[in-house]
Amino acid sequence: MDEQALAKSNPKEDIQTHTDELLKNFDLLKLLYPQIKANWKLLYLACIYHDLGKINEKFQIRIKTGKRFANEIPHGLLSIAFIDYRHLLAEGYEKNELKILSQAVAYHHDRAMPFANATIEGEFSLLRRPFENFQYDKLENKFIAKEINERYFSVNERIYEEQGELFFEFVMLEGLLNRLDYAASAHIPVESPNDFLEVSMFELMELWQKRDSRVKWNDLQNYMLKNKDRNLIVIAQTGMGKTEAGLLWIGDNKGFFTLPLKSAINAIYDRITNDIVTNNRENRVGMLHSDTYINYRERDNSYDEGSFSTGSFDNYYTKTRQLSLPLTICTLDQLFTFVFRYRGFEQKLATLSYSKIVIDEVQMYSAELVAFLILGLHYITKMGGKFAILTATLPTLFIDLLHEENIEFNLPQTFTNRMIRHSIKILDNDINADDIIGCSQGISGKKVLVICNTIKSAVGLFKALKEKLPSERIYLLHSQFTRYDRKMKENHIINMGQSSSKETGIWVATQIVEASLDIDFDLLFTELSDLNGLFQRMGRCYRKRALNINYNCFVFTGGVKKCSGVGFFIDKEIHEKSKKALVGIDGQITEQKKVAMVNALYTKGNLPEYYNEISENINYVKSCSEYELNKKEAINRFRNINNIAIIPRSVFEKFNGEIQNAINELRINRSEIDKTEKHMLKARARSVINNYTVDVAAYIAVKIKQEKIKINEFEQMIIADCEYNDETGLNLADLKSKTADAIDFSSHTF
């Protein structure tokens, strides 16, 4: 070859330069996290070898001209031709080390590989001529094999978990190689140092003490500080500073803070970046969920005059997605999909092996997600990672399941104070407007929160309250608003729910306000879901205040009828036993009593069906073969995705100009601008469209008459003929009278 062999086309970068970038990140990773249980010598070799197969003629033609070959062999499989096993054995490497080295190099871009050894070997001889002209000072010799050495590698033969420690050594090597490779390709550091969090936390305390010299870390926070090197399970009531406790436990380590709801993640991210880690956020703190890009953009001042330049913003988003920031606040599904061991899962698990993970509000997770969480903690702790579960309530059977997976942790600790915050009144009938008005002893001038189990129940109650209290300010929040309207409502309820806010009124909502939102209302009216959910909902009322009224929490148990949602997404057995547990409860209830009630109810002896459901889910995931799924399939199984995004017809017509401009942007091929700016423009266009979508269950979506607008080869938009308004959201009451063709869910939809 007359010119250097390329590794990347946009921007052009030769193999040697790209590999040198990996090695720079290799040095950085080793400097920042020397405690990683990695085979550093083997990882160095993997960096050297991983892209050498790209010198083959077909790859070079494709990357320079765009011409594709139907029978092109992935470069990783060709890269193993350059591994000189005899030389490495003489250098002291063991046979098993060379096995995992070969597999890490061959599968570093893991995909289905319909090739035989003989087919791959047929290309080896074609590598000789280009390799003669390939000069790289990091290569010790100019070796090319004539054939695959099957003692170390055979295509599509893999290292499986049943092979014990060898499997986990491979996961670490492959995972770190991919981290280094992707960071080098994106031209970002694989990691940034966490040298700021401990200082920031104690600066926060100094600030508090300037306002009140008596302030100090409480017992919960001191416990987390003293046990920073242990796996912890902590039960602490709302308002005790669990966020600060979790950050103190993470300290100056790589950390992830997981929460069940995107709205809670956004709130914690804002709190940390506004009050704790206030400088250099793009190198320190990120939030990661399905709307990360949109939320980052919204927090930038504007597209034209924001705090980021185009390049630095794009880098911030890339570093977040690649888990390169020291502290990330995220949803569980952004981390724990690795439990399915899909093709390419290794980089997540390898990253978590040297991280500390805080898991907040476990009681919000379904039986499926609890199973995935427990199995994930099994793998993470086996690889060397640490976890801390911080929750207001914790089912006792969760502890049993952790023990069954041989996960080590400190004995669970409970932190409560003697302040009595809640007094319960049980109403053995359906939730209704008359009882809410009658029990509130005058709603005017109060902040009232009403929580229903279903959207249908919430909408009906909202309308009834509006009719009976025409002069009151009454609002509704549930999941079937457009993303824009929902965001506005979430911001409103959070602002109104602050203790400093003078605004009063009534919010009717579903369980999306149940956990992690720092809001404080005067009165709570709620349907009974289960004991866990009830106590979480109570945490949104008198969050940090001592009780000063007769009753502030009113619980509707449904009477002879079932509460809404029971038997559907609320377990009937748990609901009935929760209802029995509340018999005789009337008046003040201590935090200690709440914990005791949860401990007594949620045992595997008391809830055998629920316990078995979690166990069966764990066994189901274990039964999936390693590398059986691709990443998309694993995400779909983890999230149990059954929703589709639609745009109601009235919304589409109202904002047609904005939406059409966004569609046009997505259709344009802007060859005149660079890749980063093009990505920014298209992401902004998708953000505009996303703002007007509503997520609807697939089984409901197929009943709605609809129009599909093709945006491009991969994307389409669904306009649905259903009523919508920004006060009550989507109206699906008349779906039975409408028909629709089945939706093709294989395409990406907005």
pLDDT (tens digit per residue) in 630-658: 888 898 888 776 678 899 999 999 999 99
Using DSSP's 3-state secondary structure scheme, residue 50 falls into: coil
Q: What are phi and psi of 729, to 5 degrees?
A: 85, -150
366: nearest Cα among 703, 640, 90, 170? 640
- pLDDT given for residue 747 in this prediction: 30
**Whether residue 625 has pLDDT greater than 70:** yes
Residues 548 and 675 in one domain: no
Q: Which domain holds residue 581?
A: 422-589
pLDDT recorded at residue 641: 60
- The reply to whether 275 and 401 lie within a common domain is yes
Do residues 79 and 150 share a domain? Answer: yes
Write the CA distances from 599 to 115, 142, 235, 360, 404, integer angstroms: 55, 66, 11, 18, 18
599's CB contacts (< 8 A; 6+ apart) are 396
Total structural domains within the chain:
4
Sign, CA dihedral 632-635-641-646, equals negative
Instruction: For residue 724, give the amino acid letter.
Output: Y
Task: Tell me: do 400 and 450 sit in the same domain.
Answer: no
* Residues 337 and 251 both lie in one domain: yes
Band of pLDDT at residue 620, cut at 50, 70 and 90: very high
Task: Check pLDDT > 90 for residue 65.
Answer: no
Task: Place 676 in a pLDDT band, splitting at 50, 70 and 90.
Answer: low
For residue 88, give the CATH number of its domain: 1.10.3210
Q: What is the rounded average pLDDT of the residues 474-484?
A: 94
Q: By mean pLDDT, which of 181-195, 296-310, 573-587, 662-676 is the weakest?
A: 296-310
Distance CA 625, CA 550 (A): 57
In-domain check, residue 44: yes
The pLDDT value given to residue 675: 66
Domain closes at, from 165, 186, 207: 186
Do 513 and 525 form a contact (C-beta atoms < 8 A)?
no
What is the distance between the alpha carbons of residues 31 and 259, in angstroms, rounded to a whole number? 30
Strands 255-258 and 232-236: unpaired
* Residues 326 and 180 reside in one and the same domain: no
Under 8 Å between Cβ of 76 and 105:
yes
Work out the angle between the directed axes of helices 572-581 and 608-623 (0-180°, nearest 10): 140
Q: What's the burial of 53, exposed, middle or buried (CB within 10 Å: 0-12/13-18/19+)?
A: buried
Q: How confident is the model at residue 451 (pLDDT cuts 50, 70, 90)?
A: very high
Strand ranges (DSSP E) for 637-728?
Answer: 643-648, 694-697, 706-710, 715-720, 723-725
Query: For 236-277, how does the pLDDT look when each residue is reduced to its tens digit (9 = 90+)?
Result: 987 789 999 999 999 999 999 999 888 889 889 999 999 999
Residue 233: inside a domain, yes or no? Answer: yes
Q: Name residue 694's beta-bridge partners.
A: 646
Quick one: 411 and 442 in the same domain?
no
Which element (helix H / strand E) includes 8?
strand 6-9
Looking at the domain assignment, is residue 265 inside a domain?
yes
Taking each helix axis from N to C end, the angle separating 396-404 and 367-383, rounded to the nearest 10 degrees, works out to 40
Q: State whether 133 and 149 are in the same domain.
A: yes
* Residue 431 sits in the same domain as residue 518: yes
Q: The domain that contains 503 carries what CATH number?
A: 3.40.50.300
Q: Are 368 and 662 in contact (CB under 8 A)?
A: no
Asked if 641 contacts 354 with a C-beta cutoff of 8 angstroms, the reply is no
Residue 474 lies in a domain: yes
CA torsion, points 696, 701, 705, 708, in degrees to nearest 10? 80
**Are residues 211 and 172 part of one domain?**
no
Residue-wise DSSP of 411-476: PPEEE--S---EEEEEE-S---HHHHHHHTT--TTSEEEEE-SSHHHHHHHHHHHHHH-TTS-EEE
Q: Is residue 612 included in any domain, yes or no?
A: no
Residues 178 and 31 in one domain: yes
Please compute the mean of the pLDDT values over residues 38-44 and round it to a whole number. Answer: 97
Which token pair is 393? 């309530």
What's the whole-number mean pLDDT along residues 38-61? 96
Question: Residue 568's pLDDT is what?
Answer: 79
pLDDT at 741 over 70: no
Q: Quick one: 29 and 97 in the same domain?
A: yes
